[in-house]
């Protein structure tokens, strides 16, 4: 028994020792495991932090790249381009080859053959200036159009009709009917341009956006302001010159600044090849706004009554009027001569006399007759207009106020009084023209013309307004025979007027 107890005690001691050893080893293992787990957690955290740092660094890099791409120009395009539209104007044109002309003459002789016509699509651009569907474009884009189709950048398309236009400023106002708001452009101040500042031309050059209304964007700078050009019987004054690429089809599109604001309507290019050579011109936005206001009110531009006849100053005239020394000074080399003046006219009331030279009107320096007419036709009523003039070599200043618009005109050799119809009356006629409001007694034209007849064409020239009639009338030199086209009760009629050497018609 004693031996068994001893043996059991020995075994217990060995077991206890073994257990203690195992416990120590397990404790060490647990500590090492804890350390391993801790180290794993630390390493994982470090790896995770490193990964997150890489992710953040990549995001920061992408953000920096994106910010570097999103320049002021990109922002301006995003703001302005949705309001620039593609315009397709369908027109009917006559076409005759030399062979056709020979056939016509051989078979028809003096009898006019049937007119051959075909449809022609004129493509251009326009700018949405009001969310309810008012669109500004060039007149030459939609002139004589029988149908006008407008496509905007988001893919929507509309038929448009003409609310009014101005031939001389080459601007037209269109309207599309829509219940949904359209993207409209913001107006900028074209009177506050800096030579060298960024300018973006947005439009539809060469019809590239047909089938895809996304407009084309070109970038340049404002190269110059106050440029004047005479193109296709139009005189453009105070144009903005830009080197942003402007090509056929850009007409009527937007010229915007880096804020995406409208500063001009792209209109004319100067090129020897027909394509862009870095010399494009835009009608200033400030002038376009004035034209729109008058078109909205009257349907056309009705100039203010001035009661003055002027003519450009030639070098020879300046020398006779001012003397050789004074005429050679630049200050006297520009302006218009007052050749005729009505006693009750606003110009006469300002103290200006026949023989004076008007050099500045409303802060704008006058270069010649075209410049004078282009400026005064848009002057407001009932506001003081400052002007400068030269009398006997001395500069003087005056103020005048325009009170009425020139709704009537009585050409001396016609024996008629013509009236510019207002917007409401013009809707009664199929053609835009001037209406006969009075015929003098004994006038032989009374046999064929009547009060209320609408004269809309003389020879090949469309007579949209009294302004155009006055210009055409001055260009008629006797003796000559001129076809005159008029409308009466919806019917189109024509007569042949003969001006004899004594400048009388019959």
- The set of catalytic residues is 140, 170, 251
d(CA 163, CA 292): 10
Q: Shortest CA distance to 74 belongs to which of 195, 188, 196, 200?
A: 200
d(CA 124, CA 244): 17
Q: Shortest CA distance to 288 belongs to which of 406, 398, 165, 382?
A: 165
d(CA 203, CA 77): 11
Q: Shortest CA distance to 389 belongs to which of 361, 414, 413?
A: 361
Neighbours of 375 (CB within 10 A): 19
Q: Look at the block and give the residue holding tokens 């439009």.
A: 203
Instruction: With residue 225 as reference, give the H or E element that holds it.
Output: strand 216-231
> Helical H runs in 350-448?
369-376, 423-426
Contact 175, 135 (CB under 8 A): yes
First to last CA, the chain: 166
> Helical H runs in 315-443?
315-322, 324-327, 346-349, 369-376, 423-426
Sign of the four-CA dihedral 96, 97, 101, 103: negative
How would you classify the pairing of strands 261-269 and 186-187?
parallel
d(CA 381, CA 400): 10
Residue 128: helix, strand or coil by DSSP?
Answer: strand
Residue 19: helix, strand or coil by DSSP?
Answer: helix
CA dihedral 421, 425, 430, 434 (to 10 degrees): -20
The pairs formed by 488-496 with CB atoms below 8 angstroms and a separation of 24 or more are: 488/450, 488/452, 488/453, 488/454, 490/430, 492/430, 492/431, 495/448, 495/449
> Helical H runs in 363-441?
369-376, 423-426
User: Which residues have CB under 8 Å from 142's CB, separation 6+?
Assistant: 87, 89, 122, 124, 148, 162, 165, 172, 174
């Amino acid at each position: 028994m004693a031996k068994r107890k001893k043996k059991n005690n020995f075994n217990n001691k060995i077991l206890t020792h073994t257990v203690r050893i195992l416990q120590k080893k397990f404790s060490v293992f647990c500590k090492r495991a804890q350390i391993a787990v801790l180290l794993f957690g630390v390493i994982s955290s470090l790896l995770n932090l490193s990964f997150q740092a890489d992710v953040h660094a990549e995001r920061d890099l992408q953000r920096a790249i994106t910010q570097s791409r999103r320049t002021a120009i990109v922002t301006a395009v995003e703001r302005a381009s949705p309001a620039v539209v593609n315009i397709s104007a369908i027109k009917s044109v006559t076409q005759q080859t030399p062979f056709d002309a020979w056939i016509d003459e051989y078979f028809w002789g003096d009898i006019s053959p049937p007119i051959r016509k075909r449809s022609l699509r004129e493509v251009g651009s326009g700018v949405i200036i009001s969310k309810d569907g008012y669109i500004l474009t060039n007149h030459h884009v939609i002139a004589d159009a029988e149908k006008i189709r407008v496509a905007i950048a988001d893919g929507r398309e509309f038929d448009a009709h003409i609310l009014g236009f101005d031939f001389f400023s080459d601007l037209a106002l269109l309207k599309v009917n829509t219940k949904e708001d359209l993207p409209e452009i913001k107006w900028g101040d074209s009177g506050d341009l800096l030579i060298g500042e960024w300018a973006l031309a947005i439009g539809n050059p060469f019809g590239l956006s047909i089938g895809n209304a996304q407009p084309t964007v070109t970038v340049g700078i404002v190269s110059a302001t106050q440029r004047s050009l005479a193109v296709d019987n139009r005189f453009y004054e105070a144009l903005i010159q830009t080197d942003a690429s402007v090509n056929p089809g850009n007409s009527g599109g937007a010229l915007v600044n880096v804020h995406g604001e409208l500063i001009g309507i792209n209109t004319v290019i100067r090129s020897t090849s027909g394509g862009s050579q870095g010399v494009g011109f835009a009608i200033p936005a400030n002038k376009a706004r004035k034209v729109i206001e008058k078109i909205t009110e009257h349907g056309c531009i009705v100039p203010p009554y001035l009661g003055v006849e002027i003519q450009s100053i030639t070098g020879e005239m300046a020398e006779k009027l001012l003397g050789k020394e004074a005429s050679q000074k630049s200050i006297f080399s520009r302006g218009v001569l007052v050749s005729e003046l009505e006693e009750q006219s606003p110009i006469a009331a300002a103290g200006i006399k026949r023989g004076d030279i008007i050099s500045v009107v409303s802060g704008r320096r006058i270069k010649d007759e075209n410049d004078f007419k282009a400026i005064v036709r848009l002057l407001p009523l009932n506001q003081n207009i400052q002007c400068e003039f030269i009398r006997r070599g001395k500069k003087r200043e005056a103020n005048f106020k325009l009170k009425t618009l020139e709704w009537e005109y009585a050409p001396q050799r016609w024996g008629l009084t013509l009236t510019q119809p207002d917007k409401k009356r013009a809707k009664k006629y199929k053609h835009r023209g001037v209406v006969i409001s009075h015929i003098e007694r004994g006038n032989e034209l009374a046999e064929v013309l009547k009060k209320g007849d609408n004269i809309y064409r003389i020879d090949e020239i469309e007579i949209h307004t009294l302004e155009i009639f006055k210009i055409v009338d001055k260009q008629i030199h006797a003796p000559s025979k001129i076809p005159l086209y008029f409308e009466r009760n919806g019917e189109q009629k024509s007569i042949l007027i003969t001006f004899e050497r004594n400048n009388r018609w019959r």
